[in-house]
Structure 1
Amino acid sequence: MVILQHEQIVFKIRRMAAEIIERHADEPYIILAGINNNGFRLAGLIQAELNSIHQLPVKIGRIRLNPAAPLEDKASLDLENKEISNKVIIIIDDVANTGRTIFFAFQPLFQSLPKRLEVAVLIDRLHKSFPVHVDYMGLRLATTTKDNILVDIQNNGAFLASMQ
């Protein structure tokens, strides 16, 4: 079952970017830290939208972690501590389910002192088991715990969110 079509996802990204600008237009720059592949692609789409709306300076980084075994491989961020200290950082992922992946994505930020940490996701499911608050979301969705949400964000611009 398709949850969001391409055009709907584009609209959700545009709205999330507008909300980010409303909160942070006065910042010298913000950091978008995308989790793994889909989060990083979504961060790039949000960055492009931020630039088209307001020219808000944005640095983009990738958080790498193993969602299946977050304790085995330590999460890492491809930005230096000096780049993220005293900056607004928005952690971005495609779907927030239990909050575990996002919770462990905070790990590489513990060695710095950000000004503010926020979370943005395309789809926020209501099954949090970890203390994670989503600040920006495209869609909040009540599902069963057995439902699986897949978000397909391709580099060529094709986006689709479906539930299996």
Structure 2
Amino acid sequence: MAFTTDNLILDRQAILQKITRMAFEIYERNFEEERLVLAGIHENGYLLAQLLAKELKNVSPLPVDLMEVRLHKTQPLQHDLTLTPSPESLKGTVVVLVDDVLNTGKTLAYTLRAFLEKDCKKLEIATLVDRHHPLYPISATYTGYSLATTLKEHVKVELNDETFGAYLM
């Protein structure tokens, strides 16, 4: 199925509005912190983390660091998870794990251990679209758009070209 206005659920303007609201929410919950790390899951989660970091810098004085999380999404236990840049320490740091779509929670669940081992102060989750099909005990702290879908439907988020938007497939 192609990206068309028929299956568009969030256009560029709507996504940017959601990102602004999420940035304000992140700041409101963390305004007393010295530092914040946005850890985006490759590829769209990282692109969303970049957009959130830019907006956080516009709405708050919080120092924000970006980190990219890479893992094999279909066989996460058979492959290494990598954090780039590799953090020297996250002790006492708030980390917001960012992904574009929260479906079952599996991808986010497999990333938690890497951050728990780094002894971060608090671990929160931000997602642009929450589909409400939890199979793992994961819920988003910050959600741009909540959408009830069937298991057969898919949500595709495009954040880097002329088809910028969220689509129901």
TM-score w.r.t. length of structure 2: 0.92
Distance of 1:157 and 1:102 partners within structure 2: 28
In the alignment, which residue of structure 1 is the partner of 2:4?
none
**Structure 1 stretches lacking a partner, 5+ long:** none
Deviations 1:30-51 (A, max 9, x none): 0000001111110000000000
2:165 to 139, 160, 163: 160
Give the aligned residue type for 2:77: L
Consecutive aligned runs of 4 or more in structure 1 exceeding 6 Å deviation: none
Deviations 1:90-119 (A, max 9, x none): 000000000001111113223211100000
1:96 to 89, 102, 108: 102
Distance of 2:97 and 2:27 partners within structure 1: 15
Task: Give percent identity, aligned residues only.
Answer: 36
Is 1:71 aligned to residue 77 of structure 2? yes
SS at 1:23 equivalent: helix
Give the aligned residue type for 2:62: L
Pairwise CA distance, 1:158: 6.0
Tell me the C-alpha RMSD between the 2 structures. Answer: 1.4
Superposition pairs of residues 13-162 of structure 1, within 5 angstroms: 13-154=19-160, 159-162=164-167
Q: Relative to 1, partners in 2 of residues 1:158 and 1:80: Cα closer, same or farther, differing over 3 Å? A: same
Pairwise CA distance, 1:81: 4.5
Deviations 1:26-76 (A, max 9, x none): 111100000011111100000000001112110110110011111111222
**Is the CA contact (8 Å cut-off) linking 1:75 and 1:107 kept in structure 2?**
no
Distance of 1:81 and 1:60 partners within structure 2: 10
In the alignment, which residue of structure 1 is the partner of 2:10?
4
Q: Relative to 1, partners in 2 of residues 1:86 and 1:80: Cα closer, same or farther, differing over 3 Å? A: farther
**Structure 2 stretches lacking a partner, 5+ long:** 1-6
Pairwise CA distance, 1:17: 0.1
